[in-house]
Amino acid sequence: MTTPPILVELVRDGLVESVHRGHAVLLDSNGKIEVSLGDPLKPIFPRSAIKIAQATAMLRSGAQLENEKLAISCASHSGEEIHRELVKNMLESIGLSVAALQCPPDLPLDPSTQIEYLSKGLKPERITMNCSGKHAGMLSACVKNDWSVENYLSLDHPLQQLIIKTIEDLSGEKIYKSTFDGCGAPLHAVSLVALAKIAQRAVLADETKEERKVADAARKYPIYNSGNKRDVAQFMQTLSGFFTKEGAEGVHVGALADGRSFAVKFEDGSMRPRASFVVAVLKYWGVGQNILERLSNLEKTPVLGGGKAVGLMQALPIGR
């Protein structure tokens, strides 16, 4: 088995201290492989990076989701008050309470938000879990179609079967294996090429198509799609037309408005090298220097020694 290439290095005072290896693919606007790193055809669990397809299935079922509600339905939100209130309102609008959520209780995803949350004496709740928006969206689809809300996470549930069909439709690839994600929802293994194609087809679709509506909602409401202090939101706020989404265990996907797309999976499951790699992708694609300067905090993460910068973490140039 070939060792995957090093994608990101952490350098302390001139010495490479740690490396992050992984697999990645960049597709041109026609869907052809432009750059292949490691084995992008290897099946991976995309985790939350697949939420754009899950939300597309919700719309295809007839769920009444738009604007902020649609953005949070494909989100890994930070658990901020604006997120919790929106999810609560979504559930109330379909006659359900937060008790209908079947994601596990959790603390806010964002560290600073978590500290603030705990300082108020609050405890882990289902609505605070970063996937609660997706679950609220799923419940919206169930209520719209008179489907069971008690077993909406079962693989044989009509909504979950529609999600499977939607993933295969958007990716052009059969699902390799199905299991369950950390939030309890079904999770399906596909290749990085398939994941990149899902993002590509969403941004290139006609504005009336469900997948395009999901991508547009995420791009228009990036704070509801992630959070106020998140790299995903910064990317979409900084680069017009850019859709991007992270997934647990070192997965990230994205697509420019012209259809160029990418997907990456870090072998060690670390989340810390993602943003640096995304900036490297944008550099490879020739994104303007004015945009890259505004993303400089994500490109090079300082390595600290006694509170002072003594090194950095940075992606290796793509196509080197």
Segment 279-302, tens digit of pLDDT: 999 999 999 999 999 999 999 999
Task: Decide if pLDDT at 320 tops 60.
Answer: no
How far, in Å, CA of 124 to CA of 84, rounded? 12
If 0-12 CB within 10 Å is exposed, 13-18 middle and 19+ buried, where does residue 8 land? buried
Q: What per-residue confidence (pLDDT) applies to 243?
A: 98
In the beta sheet, which residues pair with residue 254?
A: 244, 262
How far, in Å, CA of 310 to CA of 101, rounded? 45
Q: What per-residue confidence (pLDDT) applies to 319?
A: 78
Angstrom distances, CA of residue 127 to CA of 65, 174, 288: 18, 32, 39
Angstrom distances, CA of residue 188 to CA of 53, 207, 218, 312: 11, 27, 22, 35
Segment 129-154, tens digit of pLDDT: 999 999 999 999 999 999 999 999 99
Segment 195-214, tens digit of pLDDT: 999 999 999 999 999 999 99
Segment 23-48, tens digit of pLDDT: 999 999 999 999 999 999 999 999 99
Q: What per-residue confidence (pLDDT) applies to 293?
A: 96
pLDDT band at 2 (very low <50, low <70, confident <90, very high): confident
Q: Collapse the DSSP code of 136 into the 3-class scheme (helix H, G, I; strand E, B; otherwise coil) and give the result.
A: helix
pLDDT band at 1 (very low <50, low <70, confident <90, very high): low
How far, in Å, CA of 27 to CA of 255, rounded? 9
Tokens linked to 211: 């997948």
Q: What per-residue confidence (pLDDT) applies to 119?
A: 96
Q: Collapse the DSSP code of 247 into the 3-class scheme (helix H, G, I; strand E, B; otherwise coil) and give the result.
A: strand
pLDDT band at 52 (very low <50, low <70, confident <90, very high): very high
Arithmetic mean of pLDDT, 176-180 = 98
Angstrom distances, CA of residue 42 to CA of 25, 201, 206: 11, 21, 30
- Please enumerate in sequence order all residues whose Cβ is within 8 A of that of 38, keeping only pairs 6 or more positions apart, or say none: 2, 4, 5, 21, 22, 23, 24
Domains within the chain, CATH numbers bracketed: 6-315 (3.40.710)
